[in-house]
Amino acid sequence: MVKLVVGLDLGGTKIATCVMNEDGEILKKVTLSTLAHEGPDAVIGRIIESIYDVIRLANINKEDILAIGVGVPGPLDSEKGLIKNPPNLPGWVEVPLRDILYKEFKVPLAIENDANAAALGENIYGSGKGIKNFMYITISTGIGGGVVVNGKLLKGASGNAAEIGHTTINFEGPLCGCGNRGCWEAYASGTALARFAREGIKNGIKTIIKDIVDREGHIKAEHVFTAAKQGDKFAKELVDMEGFYLGVGLANMANSFNPNCIAIGGGITNQWDMFYEHMISIMQERALKANVEGLKVVKATLGPDVGVIGAATLAWRLVQ
Ligand SMILES: [Zn+2]
């Protein structure tokens, strides 16, 4: 009998679902819109539908699926399989997703924070292959991450370990989406970079960024990088700051977890050469020497599939 699992990545905008074999190959993947505003019942219906869809498209039977892994936005309780009111899934208050899916599919199910699942996926199939102490950081609109210690995912008491974007780097800093001030995410995420650009423009700084904006007139992080490449002085300063804040946070990560390797994923990696050297030099300057000696900081390799691959890896961990 062929051995297969399902991995499902539940996001605020998309539900991505795959069937994966034991070699880590995706046999089939489907993506649906989450339509999160319709609330948990409708979204759970689409989750179930997407699992049946991917099974059908992979030309297999429900009985061929050994386990299902699900990556979800935090906060959650992974022990109990509960989703606990994530900001991008309105109305999901203590939803027992694992029990609901078990009733439908009757196979072992694991539910973990999406960034933690991604860390496990990168560790087994991506940039962290064979690395015992590994960390994955995703930097896009927010900052998330996951830590693998001695080959095992660091979950914490309830599956919410490594909420690294919400570590404070300035206790008087700007308000973060989580309610705290001065989180790493409020300084170094793509959202933060765009906010710094908007603030500068509002304060009358001359820059071409405001001419690069998207069709709706919004300034995004990528526009700052584009302006910097065109030699814009303010944009170059902002990119420099981005590298600095990333380096500060990485120094905290190196000091806290002492990994052999940190892999960075998310939208920011499209601009890798623009910030990499500065980020590394700040990290090395600020971290304890013993914690950065031999530490590799690399680009994650699984790309946009990291979410479903990570979720499927959770499933394999249940049955291997
Ligand atoms: Zn925060």
Ligand 1 centroid, distance to 103 Cα (angstroms)? 35
Regarding whether 287 and 150 lie in a shared domain, the answer is yes
The C-alpha atoms of residue 260 and residue 249 are separated, in whole angstroms, by: 16
pLDDT at 7 over 90: yes
Helix (H, G, I), strand (E, B) or coil at 264: strand
Residues 16-61 pLDDT 10s: 999 999 999 999 999 999 999 999 999 999 999 999 999 999 999 9
The confidence score (pLDDT) of residue 314 equals 98
Task: Name the least confident of 88-102, 179-193, 211-225, 248-262.
Answer: 211-225
Regarding whether 156 and 283 lie in a shared domain, the answer is yes
Ligand 1 centroid, distance to 98 Cα (angstroms)? 27
Ligand 1 centroid, distance to 178 Cα (angstroms)? 4
Angstrom CA distances, 62 to 28, 65, 69, 137, 184, stand at 14, 6, 15, 34, 43
Ligand 1 centroid, distance to 280 Cα (angstroms)? 23
Percent helix, percent strand, percent coil in the chain, to nearest 5: 45, 20, 35
Regarding whether 292 and 188 lie in a shared domain, the answer is yes
Ligand 1 centroid, distance to 181 Cα (angstroms)? 7
Regarding whether 279 and 158 lie in a shared domain, the answer is yes
Residues 54-81 pLDDT 10s: 999 999 999 999 999 999 999 999 999 9
The C-alpha atoms of residue 36 and residue 56 are separated, in whole angstroms, by: 25
Ligand 1 centroid, distance to 185 Cα (angstroms)? 6
Residues 197-207 pLDDT 10s: 999 999 999 99
Mean pLDDT, residues 96-109 taken together: 98
The C-alpha atoms of residue 173 and residue 140 are separated, in whole angstroms, by: 20
Ligand 1 centroid, distance to 59 Cα (angstroms)? 43
Regarding whether 264 and 250 lie in a shared domain, the answer is yes
The confidence score (pLDDT) of residue 215 equals 78
The confidence score (pLDDT) of residue 214 equals 76
The confidence score (pLDDT) of residue 18 equals 98
Q: Checking DSSP bridges between strand 109-113 and strand 65-72, what pairing results, if any?
A: parallel
Domain count, the chain: 2
Ligand 1 centroid, distance to 311 Cα (angstroms)? 24
Mean pLDDT, residues 211-227 taken together: 90
Regarding whether 272 and 313 lie in a shared domain, the answer is no
Ligand 1 centroid, distance to 158 Cα (angstroms)? 18
Regarding whether 116 and 24 lie in a shared domain, the answer is yes
How many CA atoms are closer than 13 Å to the CA of 129, on its beta-carbon side? 6
Ligand 1 centroid, distance to 223 Cα (angstroms)? 24
Ligand 1 centroid, distance to 232 Cα (angstroms)? 30
Q: What percent of the chain clears pLDDT 70, i.e. is strictly above it?
A: 100
Ligand 1 centroid, distance to 174 Cα (angstroms)? 10
Mean pLDDT, residues 295-316 taken together: 97
Ligand 1 centroid, distance to 197 Cα (angstroms)? 20
The C-alpha atoms of residue 313 and residue 6 are separated, in whole angstroms, by: 9
Residues 117-163 pLDDT 10s: 999 999 999 999 999 999 999 999 999 999 999 999 999 999 999 99
Q: Check if the beta carbon of residue 188 is closer than 8 Å to that of residue 245.
A: yes
Ligand 1 centroid, distance to 89 Cα (angstroms)? 17
Ligand 1 centroid, distance to 161 Cα (angstroms)? 14
Regarding whether 172 and 133 lie in a shared domain, the answer is yes
The C-alpha atoms of residue 121 and residue 205 are separated, in whole angstroms, by: 43
Q: Check if the beta carbon of residue 301 is closer than 8 Å to that of residue 131.
A: no
Ligand 1 centroid, distance to 58 Cα (angstroms)? 40
Mean pLDDT, residues 97-115 taken together: 98
Regarding whether 287 and 234 lie in a shared domain, the answer is yes
> The tokens 């208050």 sit on which residue?
93
How many CA atoms are closer than 13 Å to the CA of 60, on its beta-carbon side? 22
pLDDT, mean over the chain: 96
Ligand 1 centroid, distance to 96 Cα (angstroms)? 25
Ligand 1 centroid, distance to 160 Cα (angstroms)? 14
Q: Check if the beta carbon of residue 18 is closer than 8 Å to that of residue 37.
A: no
What's 295's domain CATH number?
3.30.420.40
Q: Which domain holds residue 296?
A: 129-301
Q: Check if the beta carbon of residue 144 is closer than 8 Å to that of residue 166.
A: no
Regarding whether 269 and 175 lie in a shared domain, the answer is yes
The C-alpha atoms of residue 13 and residue 94 are separated, in whole angstroms, by: 20
pLDDT at 224 over 80: yes
Ligand 1 centroid, distance to 192 Cα (angstroms)? 12
Regarding whether 79 and 39 lie in a shared domain, the answer is yes
Regarding whether 14 and 161 lie in a shared domain, the answer is no
